[in-house]
Amino acid sequence: MEEEKKKKVKLSNVFYYLKKTYQYAKQDKKYLFFFLIGSILLSVINVVAPLLSARQIFYLTNEFWTQLFAVTLLIFGTEVCRNVCIHINNYFINKYFYSVKKNIQLDVSSKILQIQTGVLQANSSGTFIERAGNDTDTLSDIFIQGIDYLTYLISVIGVLFSILFLNTAIFFLYLLFVVLLFFAQKFAAKKIQEKNKIRKKKRDIASGFISELVRGAKDIKLLNAEKSFLNKTDQVIQELGEANYSWARTRSWFRFLNGDLRDLLDLGILLLGIYFITHKELEVATMLIILSYRGHIISISSNLEHFYDIIKQFELAAERIFEILEGEKYPKEFFGDKQISKIEGNIAFKNVFFGYEEDDMVLKNISFQIHPNETVSFVGKSGSGKSTIFNLISALYKPNAGEITFDGIPLNQLDKASIRKNMSVISQNPYIFNMSIRENLTIIKEDLTEEEMIDACKMACLHDFIMTLKDGYDTIVGEGGVTLSGGQRQRLAIARALILKTEIILFDEATSALDNETQYEIQKSIQNMQGEYTILIIAHRLSTVINSDRLILIDNGSVAGEGTHQELLKNNPIYQKLYELELKDDEKK
What pLDDT shows up at residue 147?
Answer: 67
The answer, yes or no, to whether residue 396 has pLDDT greater than 60, is yes
Q: In whole angstroms, what separates CA 6 from the centre of its chain?
A: 29
Domain ranges of the chain: 26-325, 347-588
CATH annotation of 347-588: 3.40.50.300
Average pLDDT over residues 299-319: 73
Please compute the mean of the pLDDT values over residues 115-120 and round it to a whole number: 81
Q: Tell me the CA distances in angstroms from 12 to 5, 20, 321, one per residue in order.
A: 11, 12, 17
- In this predicted structure, what is the pLDDT of residue 409? 92
Question: 402 versus 228: which is more confidently predicted?
Answer: 402
Model confidence band, residue 584 (pLDDT cutoffs 50, 70, 90): low
User: Which residues pair with residue 348 across a beta bridge?
Assistant: 369, 405
pLDDT at position 475 is: 92
- Which residue(s) pair with 375 in the sheet? 535
Cβ(207)–Cβ(130) under 8 Å?
yes
| Angle at CA of residue 449, ends 444 and 454, nearest 5° | 90
Centre a 10 Å sphere on the Cβ of residue 64 and count the other Cβ atoms it contains.
14
**pLDDT surpassing 80 at residue 84:** yes
Of 324 and 133, more confident: 324
Question: Cα 284 vs. chain centroid, distance in angstroms?
Answer: 58
Q: What are phi and psi of 507, to 5 degrees?
A: -105, 105
Buried-exposed string 317-346: b where 16+ CB fall within 10 A, e elsewhere? bbebbbebbeeeebebeebeeeebeebbbb
**Phi-psi category of residue 520: left, alpha or beta, with phi > 0 → left and psi -120 to 50 → alpha:** alpha
- Least confident range of 15-29, 30-44, 213-227, 254-268: 213-227
Contacts of 209 (CB under 8 A, 6+ apart): 124, 126, 232, 233, 236
Do the Cβ atoms of 400 and 354 come closer than 8 Å? yes
Give the pLDDT score at 300: 66
- Give the pairing type, strands 534-538 and 550-555: unpaired
Nearest-5° angle of CA 254, CA 256, CA 261? Answer: 95
Per-residue pLDDT at 254: 77
Q: For the sheet containing 423-426, what is the strand order?
A: 423-426, 504-508, 534-538, 375-379, 550-555, 558-563
Residue range 231-244: mean pLDDT, rounded: 86
- Greatest Cα pair distance in the chain: 118
CATH architecture of the domain with residue range 26-325 = Up-down Bundle (1.20)
Total Cβ atoms within 10 A of residue 582 = 14
Average pLDDT of 564-574? 91
Give the whole-angstrom CA distance, residue 505 versus residue 535: 5
Residue 395 pLDDT exceeds 50: yes
Within 10 angstroms of residue 260's Cβ, the number of other Cβ atoms is: 9
pLDDT at 129: 79
Tens of pLDDT, residue by residue over 41-77, are 877 887 777 677 767 777 777 778 888 888 889 888 8
Cα(211)–Cα(231) distance, rounded to whole angstroms?
16
Question: Can you give the pLDDT at residue 471?
Answer: 92
476-505 residue pLDDT tens = 988 778 888 877 888 888 888 888 888 888
pLDDT at 410: 93
What is the spatial distance between Cα 349 and Cα 388, in angstroms, rounded to a whole number? 13
Helices and strands of the chain, counted as H and E runs = 19, 10
The pLDDT mean for the chain works out to: 81
The average pLDDT across 115-134 equals 78
List Cβ neighbours of 73 (8 Å cut-off, separation of 6 or more). none
Task: Report the DSSP beta bridge partners of residue 476.
Answer: 436
Q: Are 331 and 119 in contact (CB under 8 A)?
A: yes
Q: Which amino acid is at 505?
A: I
Q: SS3 letters for 101-124?
A: HHHHHHHHHHHHHHECHHHHHHCC
Distance CA 390, CA 392 (A): 5
On the question of pLDDT at 366 being above 90, the answer is yes
